[in-house]
Amino acid sequence: MLIYPIIGLAPIDGVTDAVFRQIVDECSHPGVLYTEFIPVNGLVLGKPAITKMLLRHQTKTPIFAQLLGNETDNFYNAAMIVLNAGFDGIDINMGCLDNNIVKRGMGAALILQPKLAQAIIKTVKKAVSDWGKRSVPVSVKTRTGYDKPITTEWIRRLLAAGPDIITLHGRTYVQKYAGKADWEEIAKAAAIVRRTKTKFFGNGDIKSMEEAKKKITDYQIDGVLIGRSVFGNPWFFSGHSPTPKEKIKILYRHCQLFNHYFPAGDFRSLRKHFVWYVKSLSHAADLKNRLMKTENLEDVRKILKN
């Protein structure tokens, strides 16, 4: 159950896997957690690598599964799989920046296909209704436009399909992460959504819990999702400033959990996390260089022990 206002962890491809979600939850208990995007086609086909994306830890913190695709039938079937897996909400990715995904008409490309976007929302809502075991919110995470902001038009199109939550990142697809998130565009959307039953979250460039709370108050929104500011800082939602010893301890904990969830996984996928965890430490450069050569938990243990 979501308790508003929400300050939660945004879905981030290649980052918010089961390991990172558990680490963040253990360190600072956000209001909601999201998976990285899960391709509906692969999930419906039962591909092992995709199915593993449904792994989750036991927690009272709501976890939303984010689905990616552009075929309504597969969204319906994928939604059923997610619901049976026990997730607390379903988010539809309409903002992914990956060029290969966008070229295939998914993610941010759905901004250019409003009728299909509406059909996908309605399909997922129908799946939740047909499943019928409990109330599960359907949300959409998107951007202000494709090559230019079309916030007012786009938000109204989404609202016509009746999502329970809309999260808006304050940049267009073309902007990627360049410049600053445009919170005035988010304000435009908030003013429209406020007159409906749909909840509304803002997203983009929030650096602290104080700023998150201020954004919620200033823009009269139901919550915010935090992305890049949590990299290497799973304590974000508590406001705690970790000591170097705490950072090293959680780095090792992250590696242990990776082995638990993905015993046959590629350990090199952790290297980005190593960079984030050690970047502010006094001996960051040397430690990073040694960690980047590790291939297993024992390698990490030896380095951190010294």
Measured in whole angstroms, how far is the alpha carbon of residue 189 from the centre of its chain?
A: 20
Measured in whole angstroms, how far is the alpha carbon of residue 110 from the centre of its chain?
A: 18
- pLDDT in tens for each of the 306 residues of the chain? 899 999 999 999 999 999 999 999 999 999 999 999 999 999 999 999 999 999 999 999 999 999 999 999 999 999 999 999 999 999 999 999 999 999 999 999 999 999 999 999 999 999 999 999 999 999 999 999 999 999 999 999 999 999 999 999 999 999 999 999 999 999 999 999 999 999 999 999 999 999 999 999 999 999 999 999 999 999 999 999 999 999 999 999 999 999 999 999 999 999 999 999 999 898 899 999 999 999 999 999 999 987
Alpha-carbon distance of 32 to 279, in angstroms, equals 27
CA angle 160, 89, 175 (to 5 degrees): 65
Tokens coding 149 = 């902001």
Tokens 């695709």 belong to residue: 69
State the pLDDT at residue 305: 87
User: Which of 155, 160, 124 lies closest to 139 in space, CA to CA?
Assistant: 124
User: Which of 21, 126, 130 lies closest to 75 in space, CA to CA?
Assistant: 126
Measured in whole angstroms, how far is the alpha carbon of residue 24 from the centre of its chain?
A: 12
Alpha-carbon distance of 189 to 167, in angstroms, equals 10
Tokens 């139901």 belong to residue: 222
User: Which of 141, 158, 260, 149 lies closest to 203 in space, CA to CA?
Assistant: 141
Alpha-carbon distance of 104 to 225, in angstroms, equals 27
Using the 8-state DSSP alphabet, how is residue 267 labeled? Answer: G
Q: Check: CB of residue 250 under 8 Å from CB of residue 27.
A: yes
All structural domains of the chain with their residue ranges: 6-238, 244-305
Q: Check: CB of residue 1 under 8 Å from CB of residue 62.
A: yes
State the pLDDT at residue 54: 98
State the pLDDT at residue 285: 94
State the pLDDT at residue 282: 86
State the pTM of this model: 0.97
3-state secondary structure of 246: helix
Architecture (CATH level 2) of domain 6-238: Alpha-Beta Barrel (3.20)
User: Which of 229, 260, 234, 230 lies closest to 247 in space, CA to CA?
Assistant: 234
